[in-house]
Chains A and B, each alone.
Chain A
Amino acid sequence: MKRADYVSTTNACKLCKPLGACLAFRGIEGAVPMLHGSQGCATYMRRYIISHFREPMDIASSSLGEKHAVYGGGANLKQGIRNVMTKFGAGMIGVATTCLTETIGDDVPMILREFRKEMEQAGEATGLPPLVSVSTPSYSGTHMEGFHTAVRAVVDQLCTGDFPYEESAEKFVNLMPGFLSPADLRHLKEIVADFGLGCVMLPDISETLDGPALEDYEKIPAGGTPISGIKRMGSGVATLEFGHTLEGSSTAGMILHERFGVPLHQSGTPIGLRETDAFFKALELASGIKTPEKHALEKGRLVDAYVDGHKYLFGKRAVVYGEEDLVIGLTAFLAEIGIKPVLCASGGNSGRLRGCIQRVTAGLLEPPPIVAEGADFRKIEELCEEVSPDLLVGHSKGYSLSTKLGVPLVRVGFPIHDRFGGHRTLHVGYRGAQMLLDRIVNAILEKAQKESPIGYGYM
C-alpha cells in the first residue's frame, strides 16, 4: 500500500507565491499590485483570483520578453511603474518578483532606488507613491508564504519610524489576519470595534475584493488598510497575528515588536470555540474590558448548537485540506464538535503542520489524525483509501475527489469557483463557527436523506 513519495506534483493543493503577494497588496488602500516578469503571470493570477471573488482584480506587469530575460528587466519595470502611477493614480505600488526575474537575478530594491533617484532628479519625486518590493519566486513556498512575506515587506518598508509618533487618544491594535475571506475580515473588525478598540488590519481585502455595485466606478476600489494607518502601527497597543505556523518566525508582527516594542500575541486562526476564545482573551487583555454581551451570547448559542448537532456529527470522519493555518483552525473546530478529522493535508510545507495539528487536537483525538505536508490531491486521494472519510472540508479543487468517494464536500477557503458566494464564506469567530457547523450538519443530513430508502422528512 505504501509507496515512495512522488517527485512530481499531480493536482496541486497550493498556488504560487506571487499570487499571495498580490492578494496581500490588494488589501492596502490605493495599492496596485505589480508583477515583475512575463505578463502571463499577472494574467493568470488575475483570472484565477477573479474566478473566486467575482470582483475586479488588477495586477500590472512589467511584461518582460526574451530580450529582457537576457539583459534584465529594470527599464521595463520603471516604465511600468510610471504607467501605473499616471493611469491609476496608485497610492502604493507593491512590486512582487516572479520566477523569471528571480532566476535572472534582477535586483528589484536597487531598481526601485534608482527609480526614486531618477524621479527626484527630474523633480517628480513628490508624485511618487510608496513603492514596496517583495521577493516571491514561485519555486520556494506557496501562495501563503507569498502572502505573509508581502505583509512583512509592507511593515518592514513602511513602518520605518519616520512617521511622527502620535500619542493617539484612540487605543488601537494591529491585526494581521492572514488570508481570510472578506466576510471574515468584516466580522473581525466588528469584534475589535465592539471592544472599543481601534484597529489597523493588514491587509484588509474586505472591501477591495468584495465591493458594492457603484454608481461611479473607481479604478482602484475603496477600502484596504490606509497607508497612514500602516505607518503608525508602531504605536499600537498590541499586535494580534493569526496563524500557528508563523509562531516564532520573523513576521510583520515580530518586526513591530522588535522595532517599536509593540506586544505581539500570536495565536491560531480563530476558527471554532477554543481558538476564538483565545482571540477574545487577547482582546480583553488589550482593551481591558470583558467580552461584550453580544459576543458572549453568540458564544452561548454556539455551544448550544454544538450540543444539538452532536448526534449527527459524532464519529464522522473528515478529511481537511488547504492552506496550513486554515487546516489547523478547521481541524481544531471539527475535533470540538465531535467529528474525527482523519487526514489533514496541505500543499504547504512549512514543517510545522504536524506539530500544530497535534497541539490543537490534544485531548480530543487519540490517535491524532494523519498529517500530509506538501501534499497534492493524488496523495490525498491515496490516503483517503486508508481513512475512508465521510466528508471533505476544503476548497473547490477537492470536487472530483468528493464525487469519486461519494461523500459531501463542504467548501471553505480559497479557491471556490464552483459555488456562488465563496468569498463571503464566514469561517472565524463564534459566528463563523456557527455557520460552519450548520453547513456541515446539513451536508451530512442531505446525504443521509438522499440515501434513505424511506424518505424521511424529519431528520
Chain B
Amino acid sequence: MAASKINSTTGIESVDPGELKAELVAKYPTKVGRKRAKQIVINSVEECGEVPEIGANSRTIPGIITQRGCSYAGCKGVVLGPTRDIINLTHGPIGCGFYSWLTRRNQTRTNGPGDANFMTYCFSTDLQDEDIVFGGEKKLRKAIREIYDNFKPKAIGIFATCPVGLIGDDVHAVAREMKEELGINIFGFSCEGYKGVSQSAGHHIANNVLFSHVVGLDDTPSKGKFKINLLGEYNIGGDAFEIERILDEAGITVVSTFSGNSTYDKFANSHTADLNTVMCHRSINYVAEMMEKKYGIPWIKVNFIGAASTAKTLRKIANYFEDEELIERVEKIIGEEMVEVEKVRLEVKSRCEGKLAMLFVGGSRAHHYQDLFAEIGMKTVAAGYEFAHRDDYEGRSVLPNIKVDADSRNIEELRVEPDAERFSPRKSQEALERLKAKGFRFKDYDGMMPEMASGTLIIDDISQFETEKLIEKYKPDIFCAGIKEKYAIQKKGIPMKQLHSYDSGGPYAGFKGAINFWREIDRMVNSKVWSYLKAPWQESPELTATYAWE
C-alpha cells in the first residue's frame, strides 16, 4: 500500500512518484526489476536542461504484455505503408501481410483516376510448407512477375518476414535480378521480425533502403521558391493534408513527405529540396542525417501537433529561408487561423483545465501531443514511448554516450559521403552562422523529458501491469496509447484515446487538427457516459486493487 496518500479524486501531488516506482520495480524478479528500474525514471530538469538517464531501446522482457511490435511492422507497416504507388510485397506466410493491410489508417490523395494507389491492396507470397523446405525465392520471382504483369507499378519493395531470413532466401539478390529483367526499380528490405528490439529497427532498415535505392534518382529541379521535405509524417487521419494546406497557403512547397501521401517519384526527387523538416525524430532522423551528408540539405526538428507548435514551426521554416515576404505571409496565416483556434481552445479549456493526461505511445507522439493537452490546460503526469531511444527522451546531446548493443549493431549503418555532383550546401557558412547567432538550431532535438515537469514519471516500454498501477494511483482523466490498450483501460472507466489510428478521427495536426483534437478530448473527458461505469476508487476511495501475487 505504498503511495496511498490519496483522498481527492484527482491530484498529482498526492502520489509520490518515488514510492510508486519502488512499488512497481519491487513486483518484478530481481533481475527484471533492475532492468525496469532503469526504464522507469522520475523526471527532474536541471536549469541547463539536463535530465536523468533513461534505459531505452533494449530488449522486451518475455511474457510481459508489451505495446511493441516488430521490425517488419516498422519497415513495411509504418514507413513504406503510406506510399501509394510502390507495391509492397510481403515475402512470407500470410499473417504479416494481412495484419499490416492498411491498418494504420494512412490516407493518400491521388491526382485522378489514372494515378496508381495500391494502399488498399495487400500483396504476399503466402509461403507454404514446401517453400519453407525448398526455399521461397522461386515463388518470389514469380510473384514479382505477376505483380508487374498485372499492375505495372513504378517500383516494388520486397519485405522479408521471420522465416525468410531463416531459410536463407536472399531478397536482395532476387530484387537485383528482377530489376534487371523487368526494368523497374525493385528493392528488398531485410526486416525480419526478430531483428532489433522493436519496430524502431524496421524504421532504420526502411530509411536505409529508401535512401540508397530511391532518393536521388530524379534530378529534375523541383518547382517552388521555398522547397522542403516533411520527414516522419505518416498522414494518419489526414494529418499531412492539413499540414500541406497550411504550407501551400504560405507558399512553401513540399517536395516529398516521408511518407504520408507520398509517391515514388517524390522520394526520387526529394534531394532537390532546400530544407528537411523532421516531425517524428525517431523513425526518420536517419534519412535527414544521410541527406545532409550526401546532398547538403540541412534539417530541423519541427512539430505540427498543437496550434502554438504549428505557429512556431511555420516561423522556424520562414526564418530559415530568411525571406521577408514569407515571414510576413506566415504571420498573416497564423493570425487568421488563430482566431477560430483560440475560440475553441478557450471554450474547451474551461471544461478541461487541470485534468490529468498520460501518454504512452510511439516514438514521438507521446511528446508532441503533450503540447495539445497543455494548450487546454491539461497536465501530463506520466509519459513514455513504445520504441524510442534515449535521444528521443533526453535529447540528441546524449547521442555520443549511447551504448551500442548487439541488437542495434545488427542493423546496418550506411556510410554516406558527399555526392560528387549533387552535393551543394543550401546555406553558406556565413548564413548558417547568422542564423545560429539568432538562436536558430539545426539538427537538434531536445527530447521529451526536458519539456516535462520535474516529478513526472517517464516509463519506457510500459507493461500492462505498470499501466494498471499507474491508472490506479494517478486516476488520470485520459490515457493515450493504441488500440491494444484501449479496451482494457476503458473497462476501468478511464477514457482512452488512440494516438496511432486516432479512433477513426483526425486530422489532429495543424490548426484545424488542434480544433478537432480538443473537441474530441472535451467529448471524452466530459462525457456522461462514464458516469454509468464507476471506477473502483470512485465507489470506495480507499480501495486498492489486489494482484495475483499479493
Residue A294 at the chain B interface, CB threshold 8 Å: no
Q: How far is the CA of A219 from the CA of B139 in the complex (A)?
A: 44
- Return chain B residues, CB-CB under 8 Å to A12: 94, 97-98, 122, 124, 126
For the complex, what is the distance from the CA of A67 to the CA of B29, rounded to whole Å? 23
Residues of A within 8 Å of B95, CB to CB, are 15-19, 41, 44-45, 99, 138
B122 contacts A10, C-beta separation under 8 Å: yes
Q: Which residues of B contact A87 (CB under 8 A)?
A: 63-64, 463-465, 548-549
Stretch of A54-62, A405-413, A449-457 contacting B (4+ beta carbons < 8 Å): A54-62
Interface residues in A29-66 by Cβ distance below 8 A to B read 34, 37-48, 50-51, 54-66
B63 adjacent to A82 (CB under 8 Å)? yes
* Given A80-B62, A80-B63: A67 in contact with B68 (beta carbons within 8 A): no
B483 contacts A63, C-beta separation under 8 Å: no
Does B134 interact with chain A (Cβ within 8 Å)?
no
B62 near A41: Cβ-Cβ < 8 Å: no
Interface status of A88 (Cβ within 8 A of chain B): yes
Instruction: Say which residue of B62, B123, B492 sits within 8 Å of A63 (CB atoms).
Output: B62
A88, B548: Cβ atoms under 8 Å? yes
A6 interfacial contact with B, CB 8 Å: yes
Return chain A residues, CB-CB under 8 Å to B54. none
Check A138 against B94 for contact (C-beta < 8 Å). yes
Report B480 CB to chain A, min CB distance, Å: 16
Interface residues as binary, A60-83 with B (CB distance below 8 Å gives 1, 0 otherwise):
111111111100000011011111
In the complex, whether B440 has a CB less than 8 A from a CB of chain A is no
Q: A61-B66, A138-B94 are in contact. Are A43 and B60 (CB under 8 A)?
A: no
Q: Are B73 and A43 in contact (CB under 8 A)?
A: yes
Cβ-based interface call for B406 (8 A): yes
The interface of chain A, by Cβ under 8 A from chain B, is: 6-12, 14-19, 34, 37-48, 50-51, 54-69, 76-77, 79-84, 86-89, 98-100, 102-104, 137-140, 142, 211, 213-217, 219, 347, 400
Assess A38 versus B491: contact at CB under 8 Å? Given A43-B69, A99-B92, A100-B163. no
Residue from A9, A213, A400 within 8 A of B94 (CB atoms): A9
Q: Please tell me the number of chain B residues within 8 Å of chain A, measured between CB atoms.
A: 84
- Distance between Cα atoms of A67 and B32 in the complex (Å): 19
A16-B94, A98-B162 as given contacts; A7 in contact with B72, CB under 8 Å: no
Residues on B lying within 8 angstroms of A by beta carbon are 29, 32, 59-73, 89, 92-101, 103, 120-129, 131-132, 139, 142-143, 146-147, 161-163, 165-167, 193-197, 199, 406-407, 410, 463-465, 468, 482-484, 486-488, 491-493, 532-536, 539, 545, 547-549
B199 CB contacts on chain A under 8 angstroms: 40
Contact A50 B483 (CB under 8 A): yes
Which residues of B have CB within 8 Å of A400? 120
Q: Enumerate chain B residues within 8 angstroms of A139, measured Cβ to Cβ.
A: 93, 127-129, 131-132, 163
B465 contact set on A, CB distance < 8 A: 87
Choice from A48, A55, A88, A138 contacting B93 with Cβ under 8 Å: A138
- What is the CA–CA distance of A401 and B488 in the complex, to the nearest angstrom? 34
- B151 nearest in chain A by CB position: A10
Of all chain A residues, which has the CB nearest B90?
A9
* Neighbouring A residues of B70 by C-beta, 8 Å: 38-41, 43-44
Most-contacted residue by chain A among B65, B68, B123, B199 (CB, 10 A) = B65
